[in-house]
Structure 1
Amino acid sequence: MGWHSRTRTLQVFDTELSADTVEWCPIPQFSNVLACGTYQLQKGDEKETAENCPAPSRIGRVYLFDCNPQTSFIPPLTETQRIDTPAILDLKWCHVLISERPVLGMATASGEIQLYKLMESQQGTCGLENELSTGLGPDRLALSLDWSTGRGESDVRVVSSDSSGSLTVLSLGEASLTAVCQWKAHDFEAWIAAFSYWDTQIVYSGGDDCKLKGWDLRMGSSSPTFTSKRHTMGVCSIHSNPHREHILATGSYDENVLLWDGRNMKHPLSETAVGGGVWRLKWHPTEEHLLLAACMHNDFHILHCQKAIEGQDAPCQVLASYILHNSLAYGADWSRLPLSNSTPPSPQEPPQTSIGLTESGGHLRIQYESPTASFDTSLEDDSGRYIPDQCSLPEKSSVPDPFTSPARDSQSLSCLMATCSFYDHMMHVWRWDWSPEDKQKPSEPVLSS
């Protein structure tokens, strides 16, 4: 069965500071909550001399939103809170409740891991309250964090990587966030650290030394369980598949996504060129073969990884691309909010941000200006995929059924995503719809592409 793929923008939000991370809350009853983190380097006055010019400061802000995507013609996001912080390099929600509250972890340029709990107000809105923080050490930036709870693990721990090349594993107690162990893992910046969600004593790390490493916390940190140089540039993204044991996705500045079987880290299962440095990778919350990639200079892509996971040594197929950001594609996440399978109508009123929407020739058009670029293009071809103006329209083609279960052959899939880009300081909320290809009726005229 052929399928149609369609992406559609729901809202664009100006974060004012450079946006680099977005995270939907994974707790079911709070899946309407979205957090976005920003990073801004503030340089001294250009008139200052090198001798008396102060060191540049790094500031940030975390935004909190409530999302209701079911209301037609109304932007789905409502900002509920903003908190000024040190510059934020990474945000991650804990996958389970802690003391009956959702908790958001933050990796900051001040070298701290900060934890915020999500509280409900009497007005029914949610807000973040600073709960705990701990420093990783002097003269370093916290670059990433991951929770051990990807599959509901009750032993809640955090792993973080930093600019000194070190990894830190932290244990969360009732009133403390304590470093359990810290070690030098990479020669330069350790861009990313992540747990194996199937065996949380296993930690993976990637660094600017182009190395991907594995660590078994039961064996100590004196030497890694493996070191891979399969990536040819810095390794900056790692995500353990929460649905399929042993499956790991990694991304690098070398513009490739690699899938691995953790039992054999000598050779990857597949290699997929995505045309941009892969800053973040996110497995779908329920569909084990779908992977969202933030590809820095080449936008955002949804990959179908079934053949690779099954060992067929094939690149992952790009099912959909979202190309409407003007700047470095950094943050990306799937929402767990349910959506109706029917594709919503195009908005008729402009969202309450600096963007305009109009209809032209059957295409939704979007345009806005930013400090770095301007954008004015038709968004969709006949299959509902976004295209730049300078590209010729592809011929109509069918894409394969992305699901392996015969029971799903006639079902549609609708997903909500949030993505953000750096220098144009924009966050987008958009949806992706898969639907079975309609059979052309004999009496209908065939339209040319």
Structure 2
Amino acid sequence: MAWRSRTRNLQVFDTELSADTVEWCPVSASNDVLVCGTYQLQKGAGEEDATPSRTGRLYLFEFRQEAGSMIPPLTELQRLDTAAILDLKWCHVPVSGHTVLGMAAATGELQLYMLSGSQEGGRSLQTLSSVKVGTERLALSLDWSTGRMDSSNDVRVVCSDSAGCVSVLSLAEGALTSLSQWKAHDFEAWISAFSYWDTQLIYSGGDDCKLKGWDLRVGPSCPTFTSKGHSMGVCSIHSNPHQEHILATGSYDEQVLLWDGRNMRQPLSESPLGGGVWRLKWHPTHQHLLLAACMHNDFHILNCQPALEGTGDACPVVASYILHNSLAYGADWSRLSLEEPIPCSPPVAEPKESLTESGGHLRIQYESPTASFDTSLENDAGQYIPESIAAPSTTPTAGPALNSNDDSSPLSGLLASCSFYDHMLHVWRWDWGPPETGAVLTRLEH
């Protein structure tokens, strides 16, 4: 029997500048922390050929959701004006006891911040280290070698840039040290990533439509493979932290390809999503779930289980989030537990008077043309509406159950996404479970 899938908006935040990257903190003590980065191109004043400037802002948030509360769950803790931000990634494990955030900047710098303070005393980001990967170029992406959450003294970062180069750096005693840099692509190297299972292996994707692999043990003089499986620029790569050899890639060609790293001649599956796939994120605990930010075609969650079991079939979309009105760029899963049960389908009821008296009203649920998902929205005043008084919903279905590591369990997920020209950050929830009324969802594991 098909399972029920539902996305619900929890909060919308105006970032003022164009938003392009969001990241939940993976370190257990700070799973409630979210960062968002922005990128704003400022045209030069006066002469037509004046050099434009690129500015940005880094936001730090804390997420706290109390059952039945009318208070929005996301609280801004800090905002820092910076160079334009192309990518943000938290180190998956503490470094010398500190939680560290990496930022790829339009100045060609890789910048590190340290999360200081506590939940009781307030938290903030403090500058830790910075290194320039090159002149007259933009740092476009970064990834940490710590994706399997293993503590290690060998913490490294890979960074790609607009000159087509890939750089590998080490982090020790709070400072970045360059280990190597090489020309990897003919045009912009949009993305670079570690194999989390063998961190001597690195993947890169560029605007030359090529996906390449590199082995640091033999040096970067020649890639271990060059794939032309994508027909346009490769802009997203993520190694599966739960299943060895599995890699997901996305491209401007609107395809998500799944690969077995032992055979890069042919992908395991091809899934057309539309819109250009800018970011891909594997679920933090469920090995078959993949989140995709699809630029002109919203955000989608894929169930990759059939493809990874060798069927060769495209990965079905089990949920979509469609409330952004601009380019879908940044997206990430949170590791926070969600304690509420799966929403039931209540009888039709009028909104509570406290809401209507405030000048707002509950919006009718949106049901997609495919009748696969439904979404609860905030009220017209932009206030967060708890599930207990949300609008009535339908009970659509969305594909088969997910066979996770041990069994088929319902789940709830907390996610964040951002869109570019409308400069919006959304925090939302996804529930997936059996269609029976009142089924209880399991918490996400840490």
Query: Which category describes the TM-score, using the shorter chain as reference length?
Result: 0.7 to 0.9
Rounded Cα–Cα distance in structure 1 between residues aligned with 2:265 and 2:253:
18
Rounded Cα–Cα distance in structure 2 between residues aligned with 1:112 and 1:59:
13
Rounded Cα–Cα distance in structure 2 between residues aligned with 1:241 and 1:356:
43
Amino acid at match of 1:334: W
Rounded Cα–Cα distance in structure 2 between residues aligned with 1:315 and 1:357:
40
Aligned to 2:83: 86
Amino acid at match of 2:44: G
Change (3 A) 1:413 1:175: closer
Change (3 A) 1:301 1:380: farther
Contact 2:334/2:414 (<8 A) preserved:
yes
1:358 is paired with a residue of what secondary structure? coil
Aligned to 1:304: 303
Amino acid at match of 1:261: D
Rounded Cα–Cα distance in structure 2 between residues aligned with 1:361 and 1:165:
45
Contact 2:5/2:430 (<8 A) preserved:
yes
Aligned to 1:59: 55
Change (3 A) 1:101 1:404: closer
Contact 2:5/2:398 (<8 A) preserved:
no
Displacement of 1:8 in angstroms is 0.2
Amino acid at match of 2:32: N
Displacement of 1:413 in angstroms is 0.4
Percent identity between the two aligned chains = 64
Amino acid at match of 2:41: L
Larger deviation, residues 136-145 vs 121-130: 121-130
Change (3 A) 1:380 1:115: farther
1:179-201 CA-to-partner distances (Å, cap 9, x unmatched) read 10000000000000000000000
1:113-133 CA-to-partner distances (Å, cap 9, x unmatched) read 000000015952210000000
Residue 4 in structure 1 maps to residue 8 in structure 2 = no
1:252-293 CA-to-partner distances (Å, cap 9, x unmatched) read 000000000000000000000001100000000000000000
1:220-242 CA-to-partner distances (Å, cap 9, x unmatched) read 01010000001000000000000
Matches within 5 A, 1:375-414: 382-383=394-395, 397=397, 399-404=399-404, 408-409=407-408, 411-414=409-412
* Structure 1 consecutive aligned stretches of length 4 or more whose deviation exceeds 6 Å: 344-350, 378-381
Change (3 A) 1:380 1:148: farther
Rounded Cα–Cα distance in structure 2 between residues aligned with 1:63 and 1:124:
18
Amino acid at match of 1:423: Y
Change (3 A) 1:14 1:380: farther
Amino acid at match of 1:426: M
Aligned to 1:29: 29
Rounded Cα–Cα distance in structure 2 between residues aligned with 1:42 and 1:136:
23
Larger deviation, residues 107-116 vs 335-344: 335-344
Amino acid at match of 2:425: M
Structure 1: 5+ residue stretches without partners: 370-377, 384-395, 441-449
Rounded Cα–Cα distance in structure 2 between residues aligned with 1:247 and 1:288:
10
Amino acid at match of 1:17: L
Rounded Cα–Cα distance in structure 1 between residues aligned with 2:10 and 2:179:
43
Contact 1:170/1:178 (<8 A) preserved:
yes
Rounded Cα–Cα distance in structure 1 between residues aligned with 2:365 and 2:93:
47
Residue of structure 2 aligned with 1:115, choices 103, 112, 119: 112
Matches within 5 A, 1:1-400: 1-45=1-45, 48-50=46-48, 54-72=50-68, 73-120=70-117, 123-153=120-150, 154=152, 155-343=154-342, 358-360=362-364, 364-365=376-377, 382-383=394-395, 397=397, 399-400=399-400
Contact 1:357/1:365 (<8 A) preserved:
no
Structure 2: 5+ residue stretches without partners: 367-374, 382-389, 439-446
Change (3 A) 1:117 1:310: same
1:66 is paired with a residue of what secondary structure? strand
Change (3 A) 1:41 1:357: farther
Amino acid at match of 2:6: R
1:307 is paired with a residue of what secondary structure? helix
Displacement of 1:208 in angstroms is 0.1
Aligned to 2:384: none
1:314-334 CA-to-partner distances (Å, cap 9, x unmatched) read 110100000000000000000
Rounded Cα–Cα distance in structure 2 between residues aligned with 1:41 and 1:19:
12
Contact 2:90/2:101 (<8 A) preserved:
yes
Change (3 A) 1:117 1:60: same
Rounded Cα–Cα distance in structure 2 between residues aligned with 1:368 and 1:425:
19
Contact 1:44/1:54 (<8 A) preserved:
yes
Work out the number of aligned pairs and report it.
411
Displacement of 1:412 in angstroms is 2.2
Amino acid at match of 2:62: D
**Could you tell me the TM-score, scaled by structure 1's length?**
0.86
Change (3 A) 1:200 1:358: same
**Could you tell me the TM-score, scaled by structure 2's length?**
0.87
